[in-house]
Amino acid sequence: MIKPFLQEVAEDLIEKFGSDIQHCAIVFNNKRPAAYLQKYFANLIKKPFFSPSFYTIQEFFASATKHKIADFYLQFFTLHKIYNQLLAEEGLEPISSHKFFPLAKIILSDFTQIDNDLVDAEKLYRDLEDISVINKDFDYLSSEQYEFLSQFWTSYSEGKHKKQQELFIKMWRRMPKLYHKFHATLKQQDYLTNGYVYRHLAEEIEDQQHLPVNFEKGKIIFVGFNALTSAETKIFTKLQETDKALFYFDADEYYVSDTSQEAGLFLRKNLNQLGLKNVFENRPSLMKSEAHQVNVFKVQGQSAQAKILNNILEEDYAAQTAIGSTVVVLADESLLMPALQTIPTTYNQKQVDLNITMGFALATSSIFGLADLWFSSQLEILHSSKVSYKNVEAFLTHPLTGLSQKMRDKILTALLTENEVEIQHERLLRQSGLFEVFYKKIDSPKQVVPYLLDVLDFILTRLSNAKTLKKIDAELFVKTIQELNRLHDTFGKHIGEEEIPFVIYLVQKSLQAIAVPLSGDPLNGIQLMGLLETRNLNFDKVVILGFNEGIIPKSSIGNSFIPDSIRRVYGLPVLENLDAISSYMVYRLMQRAKQINFVYNSLTDESTSGEASRILKQLEYESGFSFTYNELNLEVKTEAFKEVRIEKTNNAFIQETLQKYLDKKKVLSPSALTQYISNPIDFFFNYIAGIKEPKEVSAVVEANEIGSILHKVMEYFYQDLMKAEVTKERITEKRKQVPALIQKAFNAVMFNHPDKVMEYKGMQKVILSIVDAYVNIILNQDESQAPFQIISLEQKVEAEISFPLKGKEASVKIFGYIDRVDVKDGVTKIIDYKTGSDKLTFKDVPELFNSDGKNINKALVQTLLYTYAYEQFSGKTFVEPNLYVVKTMTVDGVWFKSGRQTLSGEYLEEIKPEFLFELRKKLTELFEAPYFVASAVDDNYKYSIYKTLFGK
């Protein structure tokens, strides 16, 4: 068993300090290792003892200053105010908070790096267009640094500046003033930034009385550091000179003494250049001397990486080892949920111990979902005093609102009936209770946080009372409320003048960043953590998920206004630093591990390169470790096509439903019949199984709704003209009313409310003008046919059709609404309006009923069915079908045609009995055939909503 690094540290410290260990301050670069080191102390001392103080480096430095640390929002508002003052001095317009926010994040990050690395901001931001200035003022630069600097500024000096360059230079010149004023303003309020604390300490390290250590009996122990900022370097060397600090570097000769190994880049700098002394020097190389088994898993797909865990960790599920000897490291933190869903809670009736040190992101929880819904609803209320149906529906159906099913259904049904795309704010407030709290309008930026707190408080109380609060939700609620209270304090003095949407944006961003640590024992079982959290810790078995190039090391250093060449001159972090840091973290995990498992995704997409990390390639090439390779190949199988047929014969429900048609308890509509002809299985799903498309509220008008609006307009138009003969003059006179009739029809179809008064916008206006064009095409046709007499509009007709069934006579009742019946020159005409792409041509009658043919003409079947029904109903003969296809009417006319023959007069009378014969045959098939099947022609079910149900 190789001793973990922290155990060695514990043994050495006890040997050096004994019981005086209580006077030491132990400083790590993260929180995690403290629990491990305490455990090792306890194991060694084996009796009660006073523990030393443990700090992260940020906590340690912050405790050494009298000033408070400014949080991000205080920094942002201070920076914004000063930036606008500088713009005003230049006679420029101020920049809004919203636009400045992304800039501020970059500027503040740059300032932190400048302070961490003790860079002179004045010099860094110097305007260096004159290369002679470089020669004169920068004589201390190495030739390489000089080259970087002159290269960068030469690119700006050649010829005219481009607009982007002009803007960059203007902002660049503002930076020194911004930097100094920003820090001075914060200091006046007794605040420092984290970065400035480092600079402040580095510059005043002689004055050490503020450091929280008893130097007579103890020292500061720095454990496991690697990359140091210039400020840390200065502080560390000063403390070493005065014999006040000890340094335990976790180093291995394998990569420290080989200058081509980037993993040792920072350790070489710390030990060789800076002369920091490693307590653990001259230790044997564990990388070289110990056996390491490396397993590489190449998998296809992001989540598939987590699924491999069950193979790798099987023996760990059963084992109960002290101080968790197995770790799953998520190089790609988005794999947290797939990993949690994969690792079982029990194995062979034994509980699997799992400790997750990574936080569960609030952004993926239902609490954030509700807060996000509140943000978007409030923005809608601010904008128009209305809330979109989409948001109201999301609110009603959200799991945390706790509304009863009855109430949800009642409200949703009411809104669906009215097809309200936007709901008036007052109407929502009238529902009282949670509605009143959730939809209370924000009138000032200072109300954003308190009102959101009211919503969360209301829901939390309701869930607590109902005893339905889950543990993780309770923790997320607490964390969210804490964060909102903190924001409220910070925002206090700063947001009075801000715009409400911007404050909402800030709160939203702040909540997105929250993560709640999931519970578990940090010392037992399998540990699940991010790569940064593994610093200082050791495990016998290591599994790294997401070991892809671009993820480890990262392919970007983050946004900065300081260009790469200038970063190099001043020793600020550059991309290679990330390579060195990532390599070191992986190598130090491997030093003491017996088994290492690298899992990477071999599929390329927008988030991953499909390549294994270069660190793996390097290890394969030079380490001499034992490697085994596993590849997860997911076979792509296409399922053999299985024809879906619905059997009628032995199915009692289908037989009962069909019997209702024969008993006339159900009637057959022309559209039901044409659906059966074009694709029999659709008829089953729609009319027998009763599977309907759910109704939705939509701002987009569906094609069939345009048809319904047109039908309504034509009905309104001719209502008054039915009383006498319709002449061209009467049509022309009535046309003045068309726009008003279209609006009335639109309101009737879309909102169930013909007399609704409303302002039309966007797509609605487009629909109104489309219907207007269609109406005018029909009226032009009618004017050319005038005079004629209208007998009926939207008339309901019913008729019985008999047909042979199992050797006997059976019959069904058909019914439908005929758009219009005219008489002209003694001929009665059935008129059907169509807004789709229906055709007037047909091949022959048998083909109209051939479900497996390409020549079905639904419009003709429908119109001939109306003609038959009308003749039965009225006792008239020689009734003629006409079809008004608005899109093609002006060219093709209104009569059906087979070849050159028009379906009228004698030819029509010949066709009618043939049509009836084929119709009867089809009805026999509907009730007698053993199966409902799909049409053999794809086009016959091209737009079917049931396609997936019959395997297409």
Contact in structure between 422 and 392 (CB atoms under 8 Å):
no
900-933 pLDDT, tens digit per residue, is: 888 888 898 999 999 999 999 999 999 999 999 9
Residue environment code for 3-40, b if the CB has 16+ CB neighbours within 10 A, otherwise e: ebbbbbbbeebbeebeebbebbbbbbbbebbbebbbbb
User: Can you read off the two tokens belonging to residue 436?
Assistant: 């009143």
Please list the rounded mean pLDDT of every run of 10 residues in the chain (952 residues).
Answer: 90 92 92 90 88 91 86 93 94 92 93 93 72 56 68 58 69 91 95 91 70 78 94 92 93 92 93 93 88 92 88 80 79 89 86 82 88 94 90 90 84 80 86 88 91 93 83 86 90 84 92 79 82 92 93 82 80 84 93 93 80 90 89 76 84 93 93 94 93 74 80 91 89 91 90 80 85 93 91 92 92 93 92 89 91 91 93 90 90 87 89 93 93 90 87 72
Residue 499 CB neighbour total at 10 angstroms: 14
Can you say how many angstroms the Cα of residue 853 is from the centroid of all Cα atoms in its chain? 45
The predicted structure's pLDDT at residue 208: 56
User: Can you read off the two tokens belonging to residue 722?
Assistant: 């039915």
The structure's pTM equals 0.75
Helix pair 448-465, 500-512: axis angle to 10 deg: 50
> Of 227, 58, 57, which is closest to residue 584 (Cα–Cα)?
227
Residue 600, strand partner residues: 298
Report d(CA 506, CA 375) in Å as an integer: 11
Helix (H) or strand (E) holding 223: strand 220-223
Report d(CA 619, CA 611) in Å as an integer: 15
Strands 626-631 and 386-388: unpaired
Residue carrying the six token digits 């109209």 = 848
Report d(CA 200, CA 235) in Å as an integer: 10
Report d(CA 312, CA 297) in Å as an integer: 10
According to DSSP H, which parts of 219-331 are helical?
230-241, 253-256, 265-268, 286-289, 304-307, 309-312, 314-318
Question: Cα-flanking dihedrals φ and ψ of residue 605, to 5°?
Answer: -150, -165
Question: Cα-flanking dihedrals φ and ψ of residue 934, to 5°?
Answer: -90, 150
Which residues neighbour 621 within 8 Å (Cβ) at sequence distance 6 or greater?
none
- Start-to-end CA distance of the chain, whole Å, equals 60
